[in-house]
């Protein structure tokens, strides 16, 4: 069994830019580190359909108006620092961007979807006149599992990161899949001052990006957050749900446009982190909750997000920002205002029932619309759960227990929507053919 501290440091970490091209940049940076300063002849990027789709049209941090996995790979090779993990591109400058774009424009970077892979899978191969180096990332966006030089294995790690205690072969993410919701949320009892401080670092990080997205002097993406914020005419209870939607969408506006600021992620995704954190914090701020009360509620949001994602997988056809992280926010808000875990479970099921059909068609500026929707509907689900009495009978995907409901959700995503990513990638490729 792992501790809340282990969970937070594994499932809740800073991420610069979208985590899919971030993983591509990280793998490329590591391959480049191994191969040295030799002139690059070609960079080949082989990724799962999920990574291909989510990195296809999203902004790259610090690179104004440039998007996509190919740009991320080129930057990773020119200026990426693998020791920074998912923030591998944080030290890039204008000259680095020019060099990277020369590689892209010369057609030296290719990105291909590998339909035999699923979830998080990245293989980057750098080819020079003398050597060929490949770096693999699997399961987690920052989990480098293997490096090969000229066909020989030079680094091999267990595919999954070890749990801190007892099981060497399982990861925290895997362990969550085998836990009940009550078992997982019991970790809240062990939160200490260090954990509270860490959770607040994430709150401050994501609020800072939201404020940038709301700044009228900035122009990021579709400006979803700023547009919604203009609709707010008061600062009372009635304005709270719109404020939640505006802040969450604004953070996604800035992030999807490639702002050079990290956000605190949740379950491997920065947008998940925005959705899971900001609604809970804004409700806590409105009701003047203590730091400990707020941190526990945000932590529950992260635990809930990972609980759902452990069933569907890190990446899935269903939009995890709205469904999984939104359920996390609903759980956190409900807990914050009631401390009633029965109502928390009700809120999760209400939220999932509402948004289960929202698909992920790749990371891009319109993700701000979905993040805003997930945040707003999380608040709505929490309010309904707080008002209702008793548990609904099973209907639709709702089962007898929360675990059954989430398993039903995962079956719909993993089996019922198994062809969605293939179709979306075909549509993406047709757009450039």
Q: CA-CA distance, 325 to 426, in Å (whole number)?
A: 27
| pLDDT given at position 391 | 64
Question: 90: which 2 tokens?
Answer: 């944080």
Digit-coded pLDDT (tens) for 18-59? 888 989 999 999 999 999 999 999 999 999 998 999 899 888
Share of the chain above pLDDT 90, in %: 75
**Please, what sign has the CA dihedral across residues 51, 52, 57, 62?**
positive
Query: Is the CB of residue 252 less than 8 Å from the CB of residue 374?
Result: no
pLDDT at 419 over 90: no
pLDDT at 168 over 60: no
Q: CA-CA distance, 173 to 162, in Å (whole number)?
A: 10
- Residue 32 CB-density burial (10 A; 0-12 exposed, 13-18 middle, 19+ buried): buried
Q: CA-CA distance, 316 to 421, in Å (whole number)?
A: 8
pLDDT at 161 over 50: no
Element (H, E) at 31: helix 19-35
pLDDT at 61 over 50: yes
Digit-coded pLDDT (tens) for 378-406? 999 999 999 987 666 668 899 999 999 99
Quick one: average pLDDT of 252-271? 92
| pLDDT given at position 158 | 60
Helix, strand, coil distribution of the chain in percent, nearest 5: 55, 15, 30
| pLDDT given at position 57 | 86
SS3 138: strand
Quick one: average pLDDT of 129-155? 94
Q: CA-CA distance, 276 to 298, in Å (whole number)?
A: 7
Going along the chain from its start, the domains and CATH numbers come out as 16-156 (3.30.1330), 173-431 (1.10.4100)
| pLDDT given at position 87 | 83
| pLDDT given at position 300 | 98
Cα 428–chain centre separation: 21
Q: Is 272 left (phi over 0), alpha (psi -120 to 50) or beta?
A: alpha
Mean pLDDT, the chain, whole residue set: 92
Q: How would residue 230 be classed by pLDDT, with cut points 50, 70 and 90?
A: very high
| pLDDT given at position 278 | 98
Exposure string for 296-314, b = 16+ CB within 10 A, e = fewer: bbbbbbbbbbbbbbbbbbb
Query: Is the CB of residue 72 less than 8 Å from the CB of residue 100?
Result: no
Q: How would residue 258 be classed by pLDDT, with cut points 50, 70 and 90?
A: confident
SS3 403: helix
Share of the chain above pLDDT 70, in %: 95
Q: Where are the alpha helices (DSSP H) in 80-223?
A: 94-105, 172-177, 181-185, 193-214
Q: Angle at which helices 402-411 and 341-355 pack, to 10 degrees? A: 20
**Residue 1 vs residues 44, 174, 313, 416: alpha-carbon distances, Å:** 40, 12, 21, 33
SS3 399: coil
| pLDDT given at position 316 | 87
Quick one: average pLDDT of 295-308? 98
Q: CA-CA distance, 118 to 315, in Å (whole number)?
A: 8
| pLDDT given at position 163 | 39
| DSSP per position, 205-256 | HHHHHHHHHH-TT---TT-HHHHHHTT---SSGGGHHHHHHHHHHHHHHHHH
| pLDDT given at position 160 | 45
Quick one: average pLDDT of 222-226? 96
pLDDT at 418 over 70: yes
Q: CA-CA distance, 146 to 135, in Å (whole number)?
A: 6
Digit-coded pLDDT (tens) for 97-119? 999 999 999 999 999 999 999 88
pLDDT at 264 over 70: yes
Please tell me which residue, 183 or 396, carries the higher pLDDT value.
Answer: 183
| pLDDT given at position 390 | 67
Query: What are residue 107's phi and psi, to 5 degrees?
Result: 75, 25
Quick one: average pLDDT of 70-85? 95
């Amino acid at each position: 069994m792992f501790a809340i501290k282990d969970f937070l440091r594994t499932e809740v970490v800073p991420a610069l830019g979208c985590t899919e091209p971030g993983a591509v940049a990280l793998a490329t940076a590591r391959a480049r580190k191994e191969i040295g300063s030799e002139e690059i002849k070609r960079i080949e990027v082989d990724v799962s359909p999920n990574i291909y789709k989510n990195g296809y049209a999203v902004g790259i941090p610090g690179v104004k108006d440039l998007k996509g996995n190919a740009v991320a790979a080129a930057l990773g090779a020119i200026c990426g620092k693998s020791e920074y993990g998912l923030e591998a591109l944080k030290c890039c400058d204008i000259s680095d961007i020019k060099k990277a774009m020369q590689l892209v424009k010369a057609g030296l970077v290719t990105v291909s979807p590998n339909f035999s892979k699923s979830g998080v899978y990245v293989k980057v191969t750098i080819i020079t006149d003398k050597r060929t180096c490949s770096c693999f990332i699997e399961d987690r966006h920052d989990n480098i599992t293997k490096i090969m030089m000229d066909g020989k294995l030079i680094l091999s790690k267990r595919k999954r990161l070890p749990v801190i205690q007892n099981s060497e072969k399982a990861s925290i993410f895997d362990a969550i899949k085998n836990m009940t919701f009550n078992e997982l949320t019991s970790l809240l009892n062990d939160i200490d001052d260090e954990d509270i401080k860490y959770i607040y670092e994430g709150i401050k990080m994501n609020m800072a990006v939201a404020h940038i997205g709301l700044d009228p002097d900035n122009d990021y993406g579709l400006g979803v957050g700023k547009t919604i914020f203009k609709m707010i005419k008061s600062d009372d209870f009635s304005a709270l749900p719109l404020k939640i939607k505006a802040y969450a969408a604004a953070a996604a506006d800035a992030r999807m446009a490639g702002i050079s600021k990290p956000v605190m992620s949740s379950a491997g995704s920065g947008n998940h982190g925005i959705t899971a954190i900001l609604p809970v914090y804004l409700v806590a701020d409105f009701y003047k909750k203590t730091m400990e009360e707020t941190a526990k509620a945000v932590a529950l949001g992260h635990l809930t997000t990972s609980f759902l994602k452990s069933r569907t997988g890190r990446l899935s056809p269903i939009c995890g920002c709205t469904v999984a992280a939104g359920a996390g926010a609903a759980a956190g808000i409900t807990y914050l205002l009631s401390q009633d875990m029965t109502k928390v479970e009700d809120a999760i099921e209400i939220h999932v029932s509402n948004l289960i059909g929202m698909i992920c068609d790749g990371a891009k500026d319109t993700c701000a619309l979905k993040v805003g929707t997930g945040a707003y509907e999380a608040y709505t689900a929490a309010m309904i759960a707080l008002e209702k009495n008793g548990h609904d009978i099973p209907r639709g995907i709702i089962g007898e227990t929360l675990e059954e409901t989430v398993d039903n959700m995962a079956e719909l995503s993993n089996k019922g929507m198994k062809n969605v990513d293939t179709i979306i990638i075909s549509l993406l490729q047709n757009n450039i053919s």
